[in-house]
Amino acid sequence: SHLMDLPTCELHRLGEIADLVASVRLSGIRKENLALALRNEGYIPKLLRLFQVCESVKNTEGLRLLFDIVRGILYLDKAILFEVMFTDECILGVVGCLEYDPCLAQPGWHRESLTKTAKLQEIIPIRDPELRQKIRQTFRAQYIQAIILSNPSDFEEGFLSTLNSFISSSKEEILYGLQKDEEFLPKVFAQLTNEATGGEQRCELMKFFKEFCAFSFTLPEKRDTFLQTLAKMGILTTLEILMGMDDLQVRSAATDILSYLVEFGPAMVQEFVMLEARQSENDTQLITEIIEQMICSPNPEFGGDNQLMEILCALINPEKMLAISSNLEIFEFLDIFYDRYIQVLTAPLLVDTSEEWYETVYIDSTIFIFFVQLKALIFLVDDYQTAEILASVLELLSFCVERHKYHMKIYIINKDLLRRTLIFMKSKHKFLALCALRFMRRIIGLKDEFYNRYITLGNLFEPVVNAVLDNRNRCNLFKSALMELFEFIQKEDIQFLIAHIVENFSDALESVKYIHTFQGLKPKYEQAKDQQNKKLN
Residue 219 has pLDDT above 50, yes or no: yes
pLDDT in tens, 304-323: 578 889 999 999 999 888 87
Residues 6-19: what's their mean pLDDT? 93
Give the mean pLDDT of the chain. Answer: 83
Residue 154 has pLDDT above 70, yes or no: no
436 inside domain: no
Residue 352 has pLDDT above 90, yes or no: no
Task: Give whole-number Cα distances, 26 to 22, 110, 153, 453, in Å.
Answer: 9, 29, 15, 75
Residues 501-520: what's their mean pLDDT? 79
The tally of domains found in the chain comes to 1
Phi, psi torsion values for 489, nearest 5 degrees: -60, -40
Please check whether residue 300 is in contact with residue 388, taking contact to mean a CB–CB distance below 8 angstroms: yes
SS3 158: coil
Residue 360 has pLDDT above 80, yes or no: no
Residue 300 has pLDDT above 70, yes or no: no
Instruction: Say what the pLDDT of residue 436 is.
Output: 95
Residues 275-282: what's their mean pLDDT? 74
333 inside domain: no
Q: How confident is the model at residue 181 (pLDDT cuts 50, 70, 90)?
A: confident
pLDDT in tens, 20-48: 999 998 888 889 999 999 999 999 999 99
Instruction: Say what the pLDDT of residue 2 is.
Output: 57
- Whole-angstrom distance, CA of residue 448 vs CA of residue 465: 21
64 inside domain: yes
Residues 207-216: what's their mean pLDDT? 88
- Whole-angstrom distance, CA of residue 289 vs CA of residue 344: 10
Q: How confident is the model at residue 284 (pLDDT cuts 50, 70, 90)?
A: low
Instruction: Say what the pLDDT of residue 456 is.
Output: 95
DSSP 8-state class, residue 338 = I
**Boundaries of domain holding 125:** 11-151+158-175
Instruction: Say what the pLDDT of residue 377 is.
Output: 33
pLDDT in tens, 462-471: 999 999 888 8
Per cent of the chain over pLDDT 90 is 35
DSSP letters, 311-327, are HHHHHT-HHHHTTT--H
Q: How confident is the model at residue 351 (pLDDT cuts 50, 70, 90)?
A: low
Best mean pLDDT range from 54-68, 143-157, 163-177, 352-366: 54-68
Residues 179-199: what's their mean pLDDT? 86
254 inside domain: no
Task: Give whole-number Cα distances, 380 to 108, 233, 360, 386, 416, in Å.
Answer: 56, 47, 12, 11, 19
- Whole-angstrom distance, CA of residue 146 vs CA of residue 162: 15
Residue 299 has pLDDT above 80, yes or no: no
Residues 110-124: what's their mean pLDDT? 70
Residue 461 has pLDDT above 90, yes or no: yes
Please check whether residue 276 is in contact with residue 285, taking contact to mean a CB–CB distance below 8 angstroms: yes
Task: Give whole-number Cα distances, 481 to 183, 218, 406, 478, 513, in Å.
Answer: 57, 41, 26, 5, 18
Instruction: Say what the pLDDT of residue 149 is.
Output: 61
Instruction: Say what the pLDDT of residue 368 is.
Output: 35
Instruction: Say what the pLDDT of residue 406 is.
Output: 95
More confident residue, 520 or 456: 456
Residues 282-292: what's their mean pLDDT? 79
107 inside domain: yes
418 inside domain: no
126 inside domain: yes
Nearest to 295 by CA among 379, 387, 371, 408: 387
365 inside domain: no
